Structure 1
Amino acid sequence: MRAVTCRNAELAVEDVPTPDPARGQLLLTVLRCGICGSDLHARRHCDELADVTAEVGYDGMFRSGDAVVLGHEFSGEVAAAGAGARLKPGTRVVSFPLLRAAGAIHPTGLSPHAPGGYAENVLVQDALTLAIPNGLATDVATLTEPMAVGLHAVRKSGISRRQVAVVIGCGPVGLAVIAMLKASGVRTVVASDFSAGRRRLAQAMGADVVVDPTEHGPFDDAATHRHLVDAPTVFELALGAVEKLRRLPLVPWWRVWQAAEAVGAATPKHPVVFECVGIPGMIDQVIRTAPFFSRVVVVGVCMQPDRIRPAMGVNKEIELRFVLGYTPRDFRDSLHLLAEGKLAPQPLITGTVGLAGVDSAFAALADPERHAKILIDPSAAGDHIA
């Protein structure tokens, strides 16, 4: 089969062996595969990523000298089924990208043991594979994986519908977060990005306020949402609250405070911030500029070492949460949100390319004004982006 391999940051179309599905596995004919921002990063920074995953106990991530077939967000048609598989040949599917191989479980498209979807065929686990429902278009179904990243981040954030969400960075990950925030009923979503093209996509995904950070900071309107932006206001809130509570007859002030804590009413109003940029300095910048008591959800994957000032986070009581990928339930729910028409991510798809054009697609994705999500169609001829 034909596939795009990555070795020493170089992409090449090669003929590689077509894999055979083992028990509980399926061989798919790849219909579409999205080019993910993590693929762009991994091409240049795979060794740093492999070092991190080795520290947490997984040593199967590809390194620069390996030949790996990238691609973990794909849709396909079942071409062959191993023993015990449920899904039959001819079924259109998407699949959670994990594969049993070489005596372990490997992330599809990020390990030489689990070649990905930049190919005519890809091997998947039947147990993690879902039939595409409701006649959902193949292109849209391919977005199940990136949408699942957004859904997982929103769920892990613990945001309520009345809280303000602030999304920093409107690349594909930030756009997926915006779409899932609105699908979850969050009333106010503020999106910030330097790119005018990405700001337009943020609006298309449902952002209520779109900010150009060269003109307007994402937290400039914090006071209008009754978010606290300086220490004197926090001090006044603490002292003023006790003074008011002490005027209550018969009830000790601390009992009222305790009751308020029990129902979540004692914490001052604050936004939930989604950091979706993933470059050095962003987390520290968010901690420095966000309102007091903000919850910061780190979704962007920074591949380089970074620095923050813990004292700033402590003084503002900033809460940091880091999120990774998604769960099988997130993946399933994202597919069904797409199939039920509760998400409309079609504006994210800005181009389609054949295997021969993947290298040029990587270059094109460096310009945020031109593209957001380019899909690979392994059956397409030529090297131009359609």
Structure 2
Amino acid sequence: MLGCVIHGEGDLRVTELPSPEPAPGQALVAVRYGGVCGSDLHYWRHGGVGDFRLREPMVLGHEVVGTAVTGRFAGLPVAVHPATPCGLCPECADGRANVCRDTRYLGSAARFPHVQGGFASQLSVPEAQLRPLPEGLPLRRAALAEPLSVALHAVRRAGAVAGKHVLVTGAGPIGCLVVAALRSAGAAHITVTDLLPEALRYATIAGADTVVRADDPDDTGRPTEVDAAVEASGVAAGLDTCLGLVRRGGVVVQLGMLPPGQSPFAGNLVVSREIELRGAFRFDTEFDEALELLAREPVFDGLISAVVPVPQTEEAFHLATDRSRSCKVLLDFED
């Protein structure tokens, strides 16, 4: 079968891999679509994401959907929940499996040996990680389930947003899905900032009320104050923007993964304004919520900018990196 393997910085190969043999309790999935995530791009461009560095070749990908081949869902279209938490650590016991200290996550170098990912024609995973798609949800749109789950979790971390003005910094795929999640949660007004006009266009598709060019201080849409903010750009300047605009006692959620090491930010504002700065990492039960939301809202189709056959994976990665031309790029693993 074909698989997409990262060997190091800039060394991405589409290669033949042995077909997996499901172990007891596992099911085989014929993968149809895989979404190219920002973390996949970081592994390709930089050899790591955040503090997680490549130490061996790894199959990329954790946003995958397809058809179950074996197990109780055989023959059904399914989405794959990419996480296998340990179920034993204090975090799992506290209902926070998304920060499990011993989790396994598809296509992640957070542990060694690395957890091989889902960018392959066939994938064997614990059957408990499969979710049959709700009626009417096409596989193509279902490929957004994993990143939408990340967005839903970030919005949950922001607290009650219904009726509030919320700022989102960064209009990449995750930022746009945060916009959609905020709209679903009842936010009264959503402002999005980014450097690129095309990214802001996708934010509008997702439901943003106001879009602002981050590099234009005179943009008339720039707010003077917001109730809450979600930082989705992964740069310290975005965090500074959030801290500078959120009201006293407001909440800022850091969702974008910042560069490795220390990141300077306006920490004194956290103190003097009693701003609550919260992290948001992955997700847990939001995956099922994401599938239901995707089934109800065909607007998500507008965020899928390209579907690329897997033999052209490197071209797909170049396209996904160029946010002036793309939002969410999918790999197509059909024969």
Shorter-chain TM-score: which interval? 0.7 to 0.9
8 Å contact kept, 2:8–2:43:
no
User: What is the Cα deviation at residue 279 of structure 1?
Assistant: 2.0
User: What is the Cα deviation at residue 4 of structure 1?
Assistant: 1.1
Match of 1:206 in 2: 207
Gaps of 5+ in 2: 87-101
Match of 1:321 in 2: 278
Q: Letter of the 2:68 partner, please give it.
A: V
Residue of 61, 83, 86 corresponding to 1:98:
83
| Matched-pair identity in % | 31
Residue of 70, 75, 85 corresponding to 1:80:
70
Q: Which of structure 1's runs of 4+ aligned residues deviate more than 6 A? A: none
User: What is the Cα deviation at residue 50 of structure 1?
Assistant: 5.2
Q: Letter of the 2:320 partner, please give it.
A: L
RMSD of equivalent CA atoms: 2.2
2:165 maps to 1:167: no
Name the count of aligned residue pairs. Answer: 314
Q: Structure 1 pair 25/100, CA: closer, same or farther in 2 (3 Å)?
A: farther
TM-score by length of 1: 0.76
CA distance in 2 between partners of 1:187 and 1:122 (Å): 41
CA distance in 2 between partners of 1:278 and 1:358 (Å): 24
Higher strand proportion, which one?
2
- Secondary structure of 2:21's aligned partner: coil
8 Å contact kept, 2:161–2:185:
no
Match of 1:359 in 2: 314
Q: Letter of the 2:8 partner, please give it.
A: N
- Give runs of aligned pairs for residues 100-249 of structure 1, distance below 5 A: 105-111=103-109, 114-215=115-216, 216=218, 220-222=222-224, 227=225
Q: Letter of the 2:107 partner, please give it.
A: G
TM-score by length of 2: 0.87
Q: Which has the larger radius of gyration?
A: 1
- Secondary structure of 1:166's aligned partner: strand
CA distance in 2 between partners of 1:375 and 1:212 (Å): 27
- Secondary structure of 2:104's aligned partner: strand
Write out per-residue CA displacement over residues 188-219 of structure 1, whole angstroms, 9 at most, x where no aligned residue.
11111111111111111111111122334698
Write out per-residue CA displacement over residues 115-136 of structure 1, whole angstroms, 9 at most, x where no aligned residue.
2221101122211211012131
8 Å contact kept, 1:337–1:343:
no
CA distance in 2 between partners of 1:64 and 1:32 (Å): 24
8 Å contact kept, 2:51–2:260:
no
Gaps of 5+ in 1: 52-62, 228-269, 381-386
Match of 1:234 in 2: none
CA distance in 2 between partners of 1:183 and 1:126 (Å): 30
Write out per-residue CA displacement over residues 313-352 of structure 1, whole angstroms, 9 at most, x where no aligned residue.
212222101000111x20001101111x146211111111
Residue of 299, 314, 322 corresponding to 1:344:
299
